[in-house]
Amino acid sequence: MAAAGCGDDTSASGNDMATMGTSTDMIVRDFSMLMCGDLGTAHFGDPCTTDCDCDTSMCRQFQMGAVHVCTRPCTTATAGTDCPAPSTGMCTPNLYCKF
């Protein structure tokens, strides 16, 4: 079984990881889902430890690393609808909802 690594943009199944999935979310999310196997059970705004904990596959640190919560992708133009409470309603520079 081959594993994807530096300079290799294919998964173990031979699929091109840059085009996998039908989601318009960031490729990072698709890659996280491949690593986790299944979506996590924690929802947007819930505390988390790893990407695999979240149903969005995006566990990020906020408040100078003191808090880890599940977030999701957003755009600056649509942050108001992409990022409901309990988030700040804004996107980070890395285009995920800020807490």
Instruction: Convert the pLDDT of each residue in 26-80 to its tens digit.
Output: 444 444 445 677 778 999 999 999 999 999 899 999 988 889 999 999 999 999 9
- Domain chopping of the chain, boundaries: 27-82
Distance separating alpha carbons of residues 70 and 93, to the nearest angstrom: 17
Q: What is the pLDDT of residue 38?
A: 73
Tell which residue, 67, 43, 77, has the closest CA to residue 57.
Answer: 43
Query: Phi and psi for 60 in degrees, rounded to 5?
Result: -130, 155
Q: How far is CA 89 from CA 31, 32, 59, 60, 80, in A?
A: 25, 24, 17, 16, 5
Distance separating alpha carbons of residues 91 and 69, to the nearest angstrom: 14
pTM for this entry: 0.62
